Structure 1
Amino acid sequence: MNKRLQLFSEWLQEQHISFALITSSPNVFYLSGFYCDPHERLLALLIFPQEEPALICPQMETARVKQAGWTYEIIDYTDTDNPWQLLEHHVRSRNIAVERIAVEKSHLSLERYELLHTYFQARSWINAEEKLRQLRMIKEEKEIAVLRQAAELADYAVEVGVNAIAEGKTELDIIATIEYEMKKKGVREMSFATMVLTGKNTANPHGVPGLTAIQRGDFVLFDLGVIVDGYCSDITRTVVFGEATEEQQMIYDTVLRAQLAAIDASKPGVEIGNVDRAARSIIEQAGYGPYFTHRVGHGLGIELHEYPSMNATNTMPLERGMTFTIEPGIYVPSVGGVRIEDDVFITDNGAEILTKYPKELIIV
């Protein structure tokens, strides 16, 4: 049994849990090494306190499960089978008393809970997510190695985008160029929908790219990432096309100083809230406090947003092995917005920056 499954099984023993049914694709991947989007079909990992686990999947995925290195039992099913009956039969065959079941409460739908409740009248339902978040939050060396590769490709994607800037090109034109070049690099999937925004659109932190054409004097904001071997990167850079105004330079300089302060504050033992406040205080002192409208960052790994949440009220101390983004921003509706984002790994001594594309203001 791999280390991750072993640690999770030990937790089941400590909590006197009969079994766990893990159904979210990211957590199934984390524990088994197999990633799949099953759509409406059931994909689940069945984990016991002391016995070997089993993976439940559509029969069409069986070969891929084996290719991923899964060596334990596979409970596969066709579209005319009832996977829940197969699940019940497998659990009953273990001759265990089913009293406490662990599930991912934020992922398990009400419909699926009712199905489970029909087959297993457990006394209590335990949320497995907090334990899984704790396990996934501290990255292993092999995970860091993959995240470095993903960050390197994200750097290249920004470089492609910046080089593609030209007057009259639209946001979607630039995105098409970036994603075409990523495919040529072997990137099958971006971490999320690539964002390129220009002009006043940059004042919306989660703007939707469209047919807005780049004009001289515009901010151009890139927010993108790629997936490598199941792990995400996430980078944001903002440049100016043509010539920057004094206000644009002031906003950019403020965001850069805030981001560098947050990175400097990122050390083992430091409360996460202090990282947010390190950036926020600089932006507030410059008079732009109301225009920094989100937390300073988010955990990063198998999912684009995972634990820890890098917000001002989080008292959790940073630990070696945590990976997250640091991405302060200022968004002024009449002017535009600037965000600078890096992927960060906490080492024994401080923060290692995984994304390395230059951060000084670039005038294209």
Structure 2
Amino acid sequence: MTIGVGTQTQEQAFASLSDMTTDVAHIELAEFEQRIAKAQSLMQQQGIEAIYINAGTNLYYFTGTKWYASERVVGAIIPAVGNVEYIAPAFELDTLEGYMAIKGKVNTWQEDESPYALFAQTLDNMGIHSGKVGIDESTAFFIFDGMRLANDKLNYINAKSITAGCRMIKSSAELGLLQRAKDMTLAVHVATASILHEGITTAEVEAFIHEAHKRVGAPAGSYFCIVLFGEDTAYPHGVKSPKTLEQNDTVLIDTGCQLGGYNSDITRTYVFGEANERQRSLWDLEQQAQLAAFAAAQIGETCANVDRAARAVIVDAGFGPGYDVPGLPHRTGHGVGLDIHEWPYLVLNDQTPLEAGMCFSNEPMLCVPGEFGVRHEDHFYMTDAGPVWFTTPAKSIDDPFDLAK
């Protein structure tokens, strides 16, 4: 049996877990202020008069305001020079002000009034009558369309160069939250492997993982969870009707949680029972691809070339080519932070050069439909000296969690 797999009951596994968040440092007001200042500096460099930030992770990133996007317009206008102002429904005023870390004037609209006209009037009151105004890339089209029609004198552009330009580079506080979230999920992975037994369902494993994330300090439990057994592991995001666990099945578990809004996302693949030569061969090949991507991730190198390095390992072994399966059907990795997938991406068409502070998943999955799949997913962050793992990659197919020390 694979080391660490099927060794204890759920009750015993839960007893081994405890809150890992008691000493976590969260984002302070000064950091939100620094983010606003950086955004304004970028706007001035790019000749952008202001950006509109819609409810969601961008709004939290810049203003500390946790608010989910809906059909009602809630957002902030960050001018290139001056103070942040907000737009919100009048009945939400008191609630919104309670969530705001960055304080500012809140311009309100009643339910039978146009928030788009209010947006145009607010810009006018801020002295912005012409020029480029960036719109948060996550803004729903109907909101952007309303804003555009309310004032067609402005040149509306995608605000991604500002939002991603700031968010791609993580601060030490952000790295700390990401590190702890990933430590938590790795502990959950170890506990989960220990409770597997023949006949357990994917739903039962998912329920355990959800509760285990709560035990280690994630109040909402799992942010997401994919559990696959046997042939189902060949499909990156699962199948409609998952199977129950059988002896010598390949097991793939991809899960994560949030801490202070920041995401973990770790995948482990191993065997319930004894690995055969085919499982060993593909597991090792996947490991080589993951390590090739890590080695290629150097300051100044492009995201595309990191993907290219991982893909070459798999293609040279006779899989692919390109995105064909059997092979690697998707990108090697994605940025991670407040969104589980965010800029930049380790994919062939992303020419973004790597910089210190960038964070990525590294998961060049090997999919063999009709047999099984292998995905090793760990994350790393860039330093001036090169990449650093958040979590140590799986050691071997026989001892994935390096327990035989």
TM-score, length basis structure 1: 0.91
Distance (whole Å) between structure 2 residues aligned to residue 138 and residue 147 of structure 1: 13
Distance (whole Å) between structure 1 residues aligned to residue 317 and residue 208 of structure 2: 36
Cα offsets for 1:254-284 (capped at 9, x unmatched): 1112212221222212232332222222222
Which residue is 2:284 aligned to? 253
Distance (whole Å) between structure 2 residues aligned to residue 93 and residue 298 of structure 1: 39
**Paired AA for residue 69 in structure 1:** A
Cα offsets for 1:207-245 (capped at 9, x unmatched): 147551000010010111111111111111101001111
Distance (whole Å) between structure 1 residues aligned to residue 99 and residue 144 of structure 2: 31
Q: Is the 8 A contact 1:261 1:278 kept in 2?
A: yes
Deviation of 1:186 after TM superposition, in Å, equals 3.1
Distance (whole Å) between structure 1 residues aligned to residue 185 and residue 240 of structure 2: 18
Sort the Cα spacing of 1:111 and 1:98 in 2 relative to 1 into closer, same or farther, 3 A: same
Sort the Cα spacing of 1:100 and 1:280 in 2 relative to 1 into closer, same or farther, 3 A: closer
Aligned partner (choices 133, 141, 144) of residue 101 of structure 1: 133
Q: Is the 8 A contact 2:307 2:331 kept in 1?
A: yes
**Paired AA for residue 304 in structure 1:** I
DSSP 3-state at the match of 1:121: coil
Deviation of 1:56 after TM superposition, in Å, equals 2.3
- The correspondence of residues 202-241 of structure 1 with structure 2, limited to 5 A, is 202-208=233-239, 210-241=241-272
Which residue is 1:173 aligned to? 204
Which residue is 1:265 aligned to? 296
**Paired AA for residue 353 in structure 1:** W
Comparing 160-169 and 263-272, the one that deviates more: 263-272
Deviation of 1:205 after TM superposition, in Å, equals 1.0
Cα offsets for 1:10-33 (capped at 9, x unmatched): 333344434321215121111111
Q: Is the 8 A contact 2:214 2:221 kept in 1?
A: no
- The correspondence of residues 338-357 of structure 1 with structure 2, limited to 5 A, is 338-356=374-392
Deviation of 1:77 after TM superposition, in Å, equals 5.0
Deviation of 1:97 after TM superposition, in Å, equals 2.1
Distance (whole Å) between structure 2 residues aligned to residue 8 and residue 257 of structure 1: 39
Which residue is 1:72 aligned to? 104
- Match status 1:323 vs 2:355: no
Which residue is 1:188 aligned to? 219
- The correspondence of residues 42-191 of structure 1 with structure 2, limited to 5 A, is 42-58=73-89, 59-60=91-92, 62-63=94-95, 65-77=97-109, 79=111, 82-104=114-136, 106-189=137-220
Distance (whole Å) between structure 1 residues aligned to residue 242 and residue 45 of structure 2: 56
Comparing 91-100 and 31-40, the one that deviates more: 91-100
After the TM superposition, which segments of 4 or more aligned residues of structure 1 sit over 6 Å from their partners?
none
Distance (whole Å) between structure 1 residues aligned to residue 242 and residue 233 of structure 2: 14
Comparing 272-281 and 147-156, the one that deviates more: 272-281
Aligned length: 363
Sort the Cα spacing of 1:188 and 1:84 in 2 relative to 1 into closer, same or farther, 3 A: farther
DSSP 3-state at the match of 1:2: helix
Distance (whole Å) between structure 2 residues aligned to residue 165 and residue 227 of structure 1: 24
**Paired AA for residue 177 in structure 2:** V
Deviation of 1:343 after TM superposition, in Å, equals 0.7
Sort the Cα spacing of 1:363 and 1:3 in 2 relative to 1 into closer, same or farther, 3 A: closer
Q: Is the 8 A contact 2:334 2:341 kept in 1?
A: yes
Cα offsets for 1:334-356 (capped at 9, x unmatched): 22010001110011212111123
Sort the Cα spacing of 1:331 and 1:60 in 2 relative to 1 into closer, same or farther, 3 A: same
Deviation of 1:249 after TM superposition, in Å, equals 0.7
- Match status 1:4 vs 2:35: yes
Cα offsets for 1:164-219 (capped at 9, x unmatched): 21100011110000101212333134675300100110010111475510000100
Sort the Cα spacing of 1:158 and 1:90 in 2 relative to 1 into closer, same or farther, 3 A: same
Distance (whole Å) between structure 1 residues aligned to residue 387 and residue 47 of structure 2: 38
**Paired AA for residue 317 in structure 2:** A
Q: Is the 8 A contact 1:240 1:363 kept in 2?
A: no
Sort the Cα spacing of 1:97 and 1:271 in 2 relative to 1 into closer, same or farther, 3 A: closer
* Structure 1 unaligned blocks of 5 or more: none
Sort the Cα spacing of 1:278 and 1:88 in 2 relative to 1 into closer, same or farther, 3 A: closer
Q: Is the 8 A contact 2:248 2:272 kept in 1?
A: yes
TM-score, length basis structure 2: 0.82
Distance (whole Å) between structure 2 residues aligned to residue 61 and residue 165 of structure 1: 49
Sort the Cα spacing of 1:190 and 1:355 in 2 relative to 1 into closer, same or farther, 3 A: farther
Distance (whole Å) between structure 1 residues aligned to residue 100 and residue 393 of structure 2: 33
Which residue is 1:301 aligned to? 337
Q: Is the 8 A contact 1:195 1:209 kept in 2?
A: no
Q: Is the 8 A contact 2:232 2:242 kept in 1?
A: no
